[in-house]
Structures are given as C-alpha cells and as structure tokens.
Structure 1
Amino acid sequence: MEIVLSTADITTVPADAIVNAAHHALRGGGGVDGAIHRAGGPTLLAELVERYPQGLPTGEAGWTTAGALPASYVIHVVGPNYTAGQRDPELLVSCYVNALRIADEFGVRRLSLPAVSAGIYGWPAQSAADIAVRTLRRTASQVEIATFCLVEPRLFTAFGKAAAAEE
C-alpha cells in the first residue's frame, strides 16, 4: 500500500472512502468529525442513527454512504481519548485495522484518513503517526493508496518521520 501525506482538507480529496475520526455516539461533533458531517450533509447522520442507534465502542468502526463528499463511503472510527485516560495503543491500532476491514468489504482502493485521536483527543503526535503508518503498512488490505490528510504542521512532520521509518 502506498502512503501519501497531504495538507489538503480531507473533505476535498477524492477517494473511494474517507475515514472519519468520530465520537463514540456517532452523532457528529467538532474537528474532522464536524467537517465531514457538514460537507457530507444530513444523510450521514441519518444513516448513523439508523445503523448504530447506540453508537460504537472505542476502537470499532462503522460506515455510511458519503453524501456530498467526493467519495462513495465514510468509515467512522471511534478513536481513543488519550486526554480522558484511554491510552492503550491497541485501541488506536484497532481503529485502523477495522477501517481497512470495512474498506476491503467495499472494494476500496483509494482511502483518505485523518490522524485519528491526534487532535482534540490528545494522542501524542509522533506516537499516533507511528501507530497509524505501521498498522497500515503491516495489515493486509486491498487498499492501494492511503492518503493521510494532515492540515496541522506538527502532524504532517510526525507522519513524515513515521513513513520514512517504515519504508
């Protein structure tokens, strides 16, 4: 799988599927989650309410169609909240593994991703980047191109180091 680093807004990058860093309730929110819901439109929330009325636990993933986004699907992963004490790296690994599992179910070849949990959830940038890149590189998947959309310079730098270390 080719890993591409971009500073583009994830809601503007054409892909087969977009990964959303979601709150466990799956009802939209701030940051990447809010941006994806705003750009995708109300169908995302309607599908989430119908498909996942109780939300999802941390580390799990669900999906919706993409509404007005430049993709076919949105894969919603519930990242661990480091600030709130959810610091088990396996929870973050699980987000990416489950995202790839769903991507493979839908035949996704081009996947756009954020730095799950590295924003408001406070996961340290380099650790988040190392886990993300290592997990994508070491997990068997049909995804051919994974584009990390990293608008914050600290995340772009961290993912650049992680990608170089995993080559």
Structure 2
Amino acid sequence: MSHFISPTNQPWQANLRGGAIVSFRFPHETEGRDRPKIRPSLVLAVRTIGDQRFALLAYGTTHFRKLPTDQMVSVLEPEELVAASLHEPTQFNSGRTLLVSLDNSGFDIHPTRKTPVLGTLTGRSAAQLGGVRKRLEASPRKTGRRAMPWSRRRERCAVTVERRRGGRTISREQRHV
C-alpha cells in the first residue's frame, strides 16, 4: 500500500518531489543481456530543463555496501519503511544516479494507482537526504566529487531521446539541451 497521496488530480509527474521513492527499471552496472530490474529508487531532486521535467534518481538496494555516509541514504526504522512503502531496510546510493525525463518508460506505473510513486522519506532518512543534496549541490572543486548534473553551466549538447512501448523502441529523436 502506498502512502503517497496526490494533493490534486494532476498526473504524478506534476507532484513528484525530492524524497519520493519511485519504482524504476534501473540499468545494471555492467552491460549484459539481462533486462533492467524494477527497483525502488530515490528521487534526489526534480528540475525543469528547457520545457521538460527531469528527476535525478539514486539506486536502491537491500544489499548494503560500505559507502561514505555523505553518499548514502538508509531507510532502516520500521516507521520509515512503512512511509516509504519498503518491505525491508534499503540503502540508496547517491554515487549511482540517473538523470531521467519524467516521461521515461523506465518508470513502473502501477496499473490501478497510475503512479510509480511508492512512498516518501521521513525521519532520519529524510535528514540524510538533506546532507546528500548539500554535497551534490556543492562545488565539485570544494568537495572533489561529482555535482548535480544541472549545477554547472555547460554548452548545449545533443541528446538522443527514445520512446519505448513494450520494451521496443518506437521513435528516436535528437534534442539539444
């Protein structure tokens, strides 16, 4: 059961915020024949770039790795697990992220709720997210680590956008962002 309550009758994309847990087909770390597995992913931030909204997603796993504390968000407490609609303790790795359009076919939309949103962070895990976001938004020169994808000015570049249906590519276009 999801604890996400849409404040309006707008589609889920209009209400998505940082701290939400979504169901997403996160690609594997290494190339292979296996299809991406649907897993809980943490929305680190949502931004509008041009005329499209994008979400920065962090990989979620129940197999904990030793990561720097400023790079992870752990959902451990029973109340937090319920609010996030997670069945077991989960760690979100901000070192393994994807920037995706909110129209991306990798979001696993629930057939009756019409949303991929499972729940939201609360308590200690929400506080950890605040620290992770501060680190990501800081200048990479100060931290020595990667910053948010939109936090620095860049030249416009060409991006290939694929639309998929049933796992097959139905259209492909180039956008300059």
- Identify whether the pair has TM-score above 0.5, normalized to the shorter chain: no
Structure of greater Rg: 2
TM-score, normalised to structure 1, is 0.29
Greater share of helix: 1
Greater share of strand: 2
Q: Which has the higher contact order (CA 8 A, sep 6+)?
A: 1
